[in-house]
Structure 1
């Protein structure tokens, strides 16, 4: 398989050139400057600091699925949940390692270009479409949260009925938020500029976590939910048994809902479309430095996810709902402020998710064009308009998200990075029978299995008419 890049020094084998690039890092400022390729729209000077890059990647990882993690723990058990969460975090870090290795070998830091190098023009189109589908689904899920929660928050603050006034309607509010908050942030030229808003978004979610921990010690096991459990039992069962079962933390649990909650945990670490754009803008970029950014971000989100799920579950136990905020009293001022913080965090995440979509479209439609402000603005406007129309016109988007998530998330985490690694890393560096490539092959096979299981249980869920949980 020929992997020589005509834009690189042809005197060296591809493997040697790739390894040299990984050691030196991209855009090295030391030594005589080699002949460089023409600057394209995706290139930047790499001015984003390590901390800002961590904020941006952490914000990309953190999604609306955090509200459903306590529900996931209720159907897997505390220890089983934490073990699964740790495994998924480690797999996500390994997946990013594969991406960065491939980028180091060929000197490319665009997901779509990696697809083209590995699979040709078809690979570039497939990668761009997967990124667009996944991130459009994520953006839509965030706007759905705004559509459902913001009217309640504003109505509570103003003492008004959110169903009675036109300016409190969810459809009207998401348009206002999109025009006056999301669009200006989405028009930033570089993703690194959003580091401050990402930091604010993470601060809001940290406040959410602290409030969940605080409320655990303020709320006793909810009797109103336990009465439902008791009433559903046979008359001969003592009420106290139902109470104990409902308010007892379980370490290991396996039930039918577990197969719907595991994908929530996997999708909670999807950040791969944002990895290479953040890498591009990282100050003093190198594979080791970007891997450190990824490890810190994934580790921080693992801690936040684990604590949120644990304390949320230990507050409501088996009665916890899929969206945990619905379990708290609507009259509680602290919870009202928490809802506002979550809305702010979700709103500030949308521009970060929009960047990879615009990047994918530019790679697909204008691969050799220099940066253009009119094109930059028009693409952002089109994306926001389409997502707003989707959220307004489709009342039950959950199943669509499920299909998108069950196909795009395994592709981004497992399948595409492993295919890139197998196809791009030359046999002179890693033979096909070497342990790293065997690992990558097994990793891709795991992604195919995960996709098949997710889609299988989703279709079975539709056939039986049961509801399920989704979220990024």
Structure 2
């Protein structure tokens, strides 16, 4: 819809977003291993090389994740992803159960932000959680009956499930701890509780099953850049597709693994990814709607097409605004965190 320039720009953005998300997933896996080992062995677990964060992340991800990164089609991951969904349902059930049976004393419960601009602080997390646009195209391509009706039904069910799960976890988790809640809510529960340990393992399983999906999307984006930049003909593409897939997936995995090990803080990463997610949620769909409408009705003779043009401009403006605000706020938080770290070191 947007020509070669739009294709390249979209591919670069998809690759950056998926790569950053993969780093975040590996960091989360390391956090879950640390919690389990600290609860089972004790606080000195990291002194042993085989329980150290560097080893646990590298070993587990190489054994579990890497073999799933070379599939040619994304539907290969549907059974593994189902296991991740079950893991998420268990964690949410635990959060609800602990609200009524955990005997926690919540901190201050806020019902309104201190400033109206604070609303935008939650935008990165919301965009990061609900942003599934990058996997839409390969998933649609693998459907048995590729019709708009079937796809709309699948998307609606998936989004509705996410809304229910996220809302239950966020509401009951905040009501349980109030202002004392941590960014990783499982850290607020005692690691000695077997139910909590199971939930920590469940989150690790969920992350293991999600990483290959994001790598698949990012790998395809890099592959598009590869073929466009080198102007390969179709016969060359067919011959080298398997080799290119293996090379990109392997290098992607190794680089994300190294960065996850040396950068254990995911707060800033999520801020930046949230701003990119705003581009996927608003800007790119708005541009596609604009281009498709103009292609179908270049003179805008129909009222519905005029409304579609208005909606596309609205999407683009809202997405650009959110992207700018979130990026600036994320940069300010990063600057404050770096300043405080320098003061600690001094």
Could you state the TM-score of these two structures normalised by the residue count of structure 2? 0.87
C-alpha distance in 1, partners of 2:159/2:242?
33
Change (3 A) 1:162 1:431: farther
Matches within 5 A, 1:238-387: 246=108, 249-255=109-115, 257-366=118-227, 368=234, 369-370=237-238, 372-387=241-256
From 450, 454, 459, give the equivalent of 2:331.
459
- Mark the runs of 5 or more structure 2 residues left unpaired by the alignment: 229-233, 340-346
Q: In the alignment, which residue of structure 2 is the partner of 1:46?
A: none
Cα distance, 1:341–1:285 mapped onto 2, change above 3 Å? same
C-alpha deviation, 1:316, in angstroms? 0.9
CA contact 2:124–2:273 (8 Å) conserved in 1 = no
CA deviations 1:357-391 (Å, max 9, x no partner) are 11111212136412733322222111101101111
Matched, 1:425 2:293: yes
| Number of the residue aligned with 2:59 | 176
Correspondences of 1:17-96 after superposition (within 5 Å): none
Q: Is contact 2:35–2:191 with CA below 8 Å preserved after alignment?
A: no
Alignment partner for residue 21 of structure 2, among 138, 143, 150? Answer: 138
Q: Which of 124, 128, 139 matches 2:11?
A: 128
Q: Against the structure 1 CA distance between its residues 218 and 187, is the aligned structure 2 distance closer, same or farther, given a 3 Å change threshold?
A: same
Task: Pick from 296, 314, 327 the counterpart of residue 442 of structure 1.
Answer: 314
**Alpha carbons 2:18, 2:215 under 8 Å: kept:** yes
Cα shift at 1:217: 0.7
In the other structure, the counterpart of 1:414 is 282
Deviation of residue 151 (structure 1)?
3.1
Cα displacement (A) at 1:464: 4.7
2:72 to 184, 189, 196: 189
Map Cα deviations across residues 309-333 of structure 1 (whole Å, 9 max, x no partner): 1111111122212221111112211
Structure 1 residues 376 and 315: alpha-carbon distance in aligned structure 2, compared to 1, 3 A threshold: same
The alignment partner of 2:321 has SS state of: helix
Deviations 1:427-462 (A, max 9, x none): 544755611121111011100111121123233334
The C-alpha deviation readout for 1:382-408, integer Å capped at 9, x for no partner, is 1101101111233446434423432x2
**Aligned match of 1:213:** 96
TM-score, structure 1 length as denominator? 0.65
In structure 2, how many angstroms separate the alpha carbons of the residues matched to 1:418 and 1:262?
19
Q: Whose Rg is larger?
A: 1
